[in-house]
A and B are shown apart, each in its own frame.
Chain A
Amino acid sequence: QKEVEQNSGPLSVPEGAIASLNCTYSDRGSQSFFWYRQYSGKSPELIMFIYSNGDKEDGRFTAQLNKASQYVSLLIRDSQPSDSATYLCAVSKAGTASKLTFGTGTRLQVTL
C-alpha cells in the first residue's frame, strides 16, 4: 500500500463546476497535509495546507481533512480552464521536519 494514494485521473469537469480531488494516506502519525498544483513541465506550487480536522477555505479552494478516515480532499469551486493541472497531495509526519510524502497526483481537466 502506498503511503499517499490519489486517483491519477484525468478528472474532467466543465467550466464553472466544482472539482473534487481526493487523497488517502496510510500513516496515522501524519500531522500536516498539503495540496500542490503542478502545471506540465513546471514545479509544484502550494495551494492549501491543513492541520486540523474539518474544512479550511481560501478563495475558490476548500481543503477537507478527516483524520479518522485518513482522508484529505480539495474542492475547487467555479472551476476555470486555468485550473487544468496535476494536483499533488502531500503529507508530513510528526517529528519528520516537514519531509513531505507525495501522492502521484490527479490530473484535472476543466473543459469549456
Chain B
Amino acid sequence: DTGVSQDPRHKITKRGQNVTFRCDPISEHNRLYWYRQTLGQGPEFLTYFQNEAQLEKSRLLSDRFSAERPKGSFSTLEIQRTEQGDSAMYLCASSTGSNTEAFFGQGTRLTVV
C-alpha cells in the first residue's frame, strides 16, 4: 500500500492522559499536514511540515499539542493532558508541493472518556 498510513486507527483514552499518533506519508511527498475533524464539520487545519520543518501552526493547536517530523519522513502528533473536547478524527495528508493535491490517510479516531 503506497498511500498515507496512520496509526492507530482508533484510540480510547481517559481524560488527562497523553496520546501520540503516527503518520507515514506517501514516500515522494515532502509536505505533510495534520487536520482535525469533528462530527458534521469539515476537516480543520492544524499544522504542516515541509520536509522536517514545521512551517505553520493553526491557533487551534494549543500548547497541549505538539507535532514532529524527524528526518522529513513520518510525523507524530502528541496531545498532552487530553480533554473531552479533543475527541475527533485526526487526519494526516501529504502532497508534493504548493497548491497541489493532498491525499489523506485513513485517520485516527480519538475518544476521550
Residues of chain A whose beta carbon lies under 8 Å from any beta carbon of chain B: 4, 8, 31-32, 34, 36, 42-46, 49, 51, 88, 90, 92, 94-95, 97-105
Name the CB-closest residue of A to B4. Answer: A43
Given the interface pairs A32-B99, A98-B31, A98-B98, the reply to whether A45 lies near B41 with Cβ below 8 Å is no
A104–B102 Cα distance when bound, in Å, is 18
A94–B101 Cα distance when bound, in Å, is 14
When distances are taken between beta carbons in the complex, the residues of chain B under 8 Å from A97 are: 31, 48, 50, 55-56, 98-99
Q: Give the interface residue-count category, chain B.
A: 20 to 34
Interface contacts (Cβ under 8 Å), in number, total: 66
A102–B107 Cα distance when bound, in Å, is 16
Asked if B106 is at the interface (CB within 8 A of a chain A CB), the reply is yes
Contact of A98 among B33, B89, B105 (CB under 8 A): B33
When distances are taken between beta carbons in the complex, the residues of chain A under 8 Å from B65 are: none
When distances are taken between beta carbons in the complex, the residues of chain B under 8 Å from A46 are: 101-104
Asked if B72 is at the interface (CB within 8 A of a chain A CB), the reply is no
Q: Is there an interface contact between A99 and B48, defined as CB atoms closer than 8 Å?
A: yes
Beyond contacts A95-B98, A98-B33: 10 other A-B pairs, Cβ-Cβ < 8 A, are A36-B104, A42-B107, A43-B91, A43-B105, A43-B106, A51-B99, A97-B31, A98-B97, A98-B100, A104-B42
A97–B30 Cα distance when bound, in Å, is 11
Name the CB-closest residue of B to A4. Answer: B42
In the complex, what's the smallest C-beta–C-beta distance from A58 to chain B, in angstroms? Answer: 12
When distances are taken between beta carbons in the complex, the residues of chain B under 8 Å from A98 are: 31, 33, 48, 95, 97-100, 102
Contact of B107 among A43, A88, A100 (CB under 8 A): A43
Asked if B40 is at the interface (CB within 8 A of a chain A CB), the reply is yes
